[in-house]
């Protein structure tokens, strides 16, 4: 008799829980869109980047959940410095970006805010946002790339996008400052069949780099640097190339990720 009562009770409990299991999910699918761009505060030009975790990181925090809200999953800019997320819920968000530029959010070693240039806004429908930043470096093509025996020779010029004095005045108060932060560590020539060529889309057979130790590159700022692809590229189709350079400073601070500043992609036909 006790067993019958026990099994009856289990059936009743299961029937109630079953109702919950088969209830319709009444929540709307996230369908709001955030479109953004990152530009040089001085020139208004897009801040060109890598299309991946070495590029510009976008972090959203929905403030509607209160002061203890955790941020949404990070996503990254496209190579032209623009970004888009089409799967967001309506709400009030803080938008922060981190990349190869002066950090927009800065604190002293005790956690006291020094600057906060992130943006807070309501996202509903298609919402647009623009960030004006100070890129660490500006990388430019000098002339057109040339091709000889299947190898591409390119010339680039690297200059600072922010002065050494301005960089120091904004970074030093964050603590653990080193003059080596301003050192330019490498110039890359990325080669790929993909038009989104970069660190994440490169062919290691042909991509090449020049590395510099200490402050060795300082005397080369503003000068023309020649860099050549490795090995012969097979003929019969086009490849894309981009040049990039970076300084010895990681963003966000302490992340260990030193991000490149890029120039625009060029297409080279290999006959």
Number of H helices, E strands in the chain: 2, 18
What's the mean pLDDT when you consider all of the chain? 91
In whole angstroms, give the CA distance from residue 265 to residue 79: 9
pLDDT at residue number 30: 87
Shared fold status for 32-133 and 137-270 = yes
In whole angstroms, give the CA distance from residue 240 to residue 207: 11
Above 60 in pLDDT, residue 246?
A: yes
Per the listing, tokens 């006790």 go with 2
Backbone angles phi, psi at 102, to 5 degrees: -55, 125
The mean pLDDT value for 175-203 works out to 96
Check: CB of residue 171 under 8 Å from CB of residue 177. Answer: yes
Classified by CATH at the fold level, domain 32-133 comes out as Immunoglobulin-like (2.60.40)
pLDDT band per the 50, 70, 90 thresholds, residue 131: very high
Classified by CATH at the fold level, domain 137-270 comes out as Immunoglobulin-like (2.60.40)
In percent, the amount of the chain with pLDDT more than 90 equals 84
The mean pLDDT value for 75-83 works out to 95
Among the ranges given (66-75, 166-175, 252-261), the one the predictor scored with the smallest mean pLDDT: 66-75
Q: Residue 198 carries which DSSP code?
A: B
Closest CA to 42 of 172, 168, 159, 174: 159
Above 50 in pLDDT, residue 101?
A: yes
pLDDT at residue number 6: 44
pLDDT band per the 50, 70, 90 thresholds, residue 31: confident
Phi-psi region of 166 (alpha: psi -120 to 50; beta: other; left: phi over 0): alpha
pLDDT at residue number 39: 98
Strand 32-40 versus strand 126-133 pairing type? parallel
Q: Count of residues for the chain?
A: 271
The mean pLDDT value for 251-266 works out to 95
Above 60 in pLDDT, residue 205?
A: yes
pLDDT band per the 50, 70, 90 thresholds, residue 10: very low
Number of CB atoms found within 10 A of residue 76's CB: 19
pLDDT at residue number 51: 87
pLDDT at residue number 69: 77
Closest CA to 130 of 30, 260, 33, 41: 41
pLDDT at residue number 25: 52
Which ranges of the chain would DSSP assign to H, the alpha helix? 2-21, 164-171
pLDDT at residue number 78: 95
Strand 184-192 versus strand 137-141 pairing type? unpaired
The mean pLDDT value for 118-128 works out to 97
Tens digits of per-residue pLDDT, 211-238? 999 999 999 999 999 999 999 999 999 9
Above 90 in pLDDT, residue 18?
A: no
Task: Please report, for the chain, the start and end positions of each structural domain, with discontinuous segments joined by +.
Answer: 32-133, 137-270
Per the listing, tokens 């319709």 go with 24
Angle formed at CA 11 by CA 6 and CA 13, multiple of 5 degrees: 95
The mean pLDDT value for 97-122 works out to 97
pLDDT at residue number 98: 97
Please state whether the peptide bond connecting residue 91 to the residue before it is cis, i.e. omega within 30 degrees of 0: no
Check: CB of residue 229 under 8 Å from CB of residue 191. Answer: yes
How distant is the alpha carbon of residue 98 from its chain centre?
Answer: 7
pLDDT band per the 50, 70, 90 thresholds, residue 255: very high
Above 90 in pLDDT, residue 67?
A: no
pTM of the predicted structure, to 2 decimals:
0.87
């Amino acid at each position: 008799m006790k067993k019958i009562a026990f099994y009856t009770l289990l059936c009743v409990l299961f029937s109630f829980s079953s109702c919950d299991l088969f209830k319709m999910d009444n929540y709307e699918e996230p369908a709001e869109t955030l479109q953004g761009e990152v530009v040089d505060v001085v020139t208004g030009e897009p801040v060109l980047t890598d299309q991946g975790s070495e590029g510009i990181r976008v972090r959203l925090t929905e403030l509607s959940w209160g002061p203890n809200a955790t941020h949404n999953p990070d996503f990254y800019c496209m190579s032209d410095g623009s970004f888009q997320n089409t799967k967001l819920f309506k709400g009030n968000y803080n938008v922060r970006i981190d990349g190869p530029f002066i950090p927009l959010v800065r604190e002293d070693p005790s956690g006291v805010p020094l600057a906060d240039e992130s943006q807070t806004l309501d996202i509903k429908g298609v919402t647009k946002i623009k960030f004006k930043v100070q890129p660490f470096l500006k990388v430019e093509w000098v002339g057109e790339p040339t091709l000889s025996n299947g190898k591409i020779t390119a010339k680039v010029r690297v200059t600072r996008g922010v002065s050494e004095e301005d960089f120091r005045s904004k970074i030093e108060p964050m603590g653990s400052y080193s003059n080596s932060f301003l050192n330019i560590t490498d110039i890359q020539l990325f080669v790929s069949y993909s038009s989104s060529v970069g660190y994440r889309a490169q062919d290691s057979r042909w991509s090449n780099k020049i590395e510099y130790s200490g402050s060795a590159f300082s005397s080369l700022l503003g000068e023309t640097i020649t860099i050549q692809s490795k090995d012969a590229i097979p003929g019969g189709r086009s490849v894309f190339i981009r040049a990039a350079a970076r300084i010895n400073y990681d963003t966000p601070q302490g992340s260990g990720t030193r991000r490149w500043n890029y120039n625009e992609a060029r297409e080279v036909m290999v006959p």
